Homo-oligomer: A and B are copies of this chain.
Amino acid sequence: MSGLPPLLPLVSDADAPPEVAAVYADIRATRGGDFINNFWRVLANDPALLARTWADLKAVMGKGSLDPLTKELVYIAVSVTNGCTYCINSHTASARAKGMTDAMLAELIGVVGMANETNRLVTGLQVPVDEEFLAR
């Protein structure tokens, strides 16, 4: 562990009540590995929050009309814009596991930087929306 301690303790496998143990088991089965990262171990202090968050993430991040790697890139983009250090570290690890190369990461961050810049140029000059964009 690095940095400051969490606000609630990490729930180990030994301390996990049945509802938590069930989620841990499903994380392991879904990911095909034993590792449970700290995010889930802290959420486990509130078993309902843990179960809901894991079910949602599994539903959202799976294959749909967008592929899982694209979703990880989007997740990183949001996490960078929000400045969430943990999330950047965990989702770049996930994205790499799904095929993101160093070149893709650098290019992604370049897009994120550019989007943040033009978002502020637009807002700073109060650019009005073109009627052309409103014809859905």
Binding site for B on A (CB under 8 A): 1-9, 35, 37-39, 42-43, 45-46, 48-49, 52-53, 56-57, 59-61, 64-66, 70-71, 73-90, 92-93, 101-134, 136
Contacts and interface: CB of A to CB of B under 8 A. Distances in A.
Given A37-B132, A119-B82, A119-B87, A45 B102 contact: yes
Contact of A57 (B64, B88, B101, B114): B114
Given A46-B103, A83-B83, A56 B114 contact: yes
The A interface, classified by DSSP as helix, strand, loop or mixed, is helix
A111 B62 CA distance: 10
A35 B129 contact: no
Contacts of A82: 81, 83, 116, 119-120
A107 to B, nearest CB: 5
A2 to B, nearest CB: 5
